Amino acid sequence: RLAVLMPDCRMCDMVQREPLCIRVSLIHATNLMLQLQEFLGEGAGRNVQRTFEQFPALLLADDVPSTVRTTSAHILKLKPVMSDFPERVTKVLKQNPSMLYRVHLYDTLEECPFDIQNLLTHPLDGKAEREERYRAEWEEWDNAEDYFDPIEWMLDGYDDSNENDELDSGPHDIHDDE
């Protein structure tokens, strides 16, 4: 029955991944496909079929909007800083609809595969901590007692106090041809 609704999907693989998808009614599967396509936006027809083919357990969901809500809540539990960027969570789910199923398999962000961790990482993550660490390192360097005084060093990189004394003694005539 599902082969009529999703002709591009390999039904054998779907049943192997989720045996209970055989029992899904055509009406329920059609509603889920339409809801997922509405969530993903225009031009997502093949992506909808591919998502159901890769993760046929989504066919067992009650509806897509509730799945999106529970997935978003789970992502916020994994990474609370994302609560400041709810549109980013929605964008990640639209670009990677497989996350609707996959992210529920993990209880902490560290358990997630790197592809999920990378999707949930934002350039602003930890910005305040990085800035504070940077400031602390500069403070430590600024307060260091063993820093060198650049006046004591010559351009060639070694310290020769005698040469510095001669240079400081006054003007010198470079051409002593007389």
Residue pLDDT, tens place only, 122-164:
655 566 666 777 777 777 766 655 555 555 555 555 555 555 5
Number of neighbouring beta carbons within 10 Å of residue 152 = 10
Residue 66: predicted pLDDT? 92
Mean pLDDT across the stretch 98-113?
A: 87
DSSP state of 108: S
How do residues 14-51 score in pLDDT, each as one tens digit?
888 888 888 888 899 889 888 888 888 876 666 788 88
d(CA 59, CA 31): 10
